[in-house]
Amino acid sequence: MEAAIKILETPAEVSWDYDEEADVLYLSVGKPRPAVGVDIGEGVIARYDEEHKEVVGLTLIELRARLLKEIEHGG
């Protein structure tokens, strides 16, 4: 049986922060809060609140580098 996970079920403000030096984009759903990082592949880390069983953010690693690579090679 698949566990229930909430993903953007309640409208919330999304905030973001981009670390240009590290080329990492941090997205938070609602107010940033403690969460476990779950590597879901392709440079994406889902931030998961275990108590409330919901995704509360995403971390995108090497975003600029990946985007430029795809643009230069036509996808």
In a structure prediction context, what are the per-residue pLDDT tens digits for the chain, which is 75 residues long?
A: 456 787 777 767 999 999 999 999 999 998 888 999 999 999 999 999 999 889 999 999 999 999 999 999 876
Write down the H helix ranges in 1-75: 63-72
What range defines the domain where residue 20 resides?
A: 14-72
Residue 1 inside a domain? The answer is no
| Report field, pTM of the whole predicted structure over 0.75 | yes
Is 27 inside a domain boundary?
yes
The runs of H, that is alpha helices, within 13-62 are: none
Task: Give dist(CA 47, CA 21) in Å, integer.
Answer: 21
64 belongs to a structural domain: yes
- Sheet containing 14-19: which strands, arranged edge to edge? 14-19, 24-29, 54-61, 44-49, 36-41
Say if residues 52 and 12 touch (Cβ distance below 8 Å). Answer: no
Instruction: Give the count of domains, the chain.
Output: 1
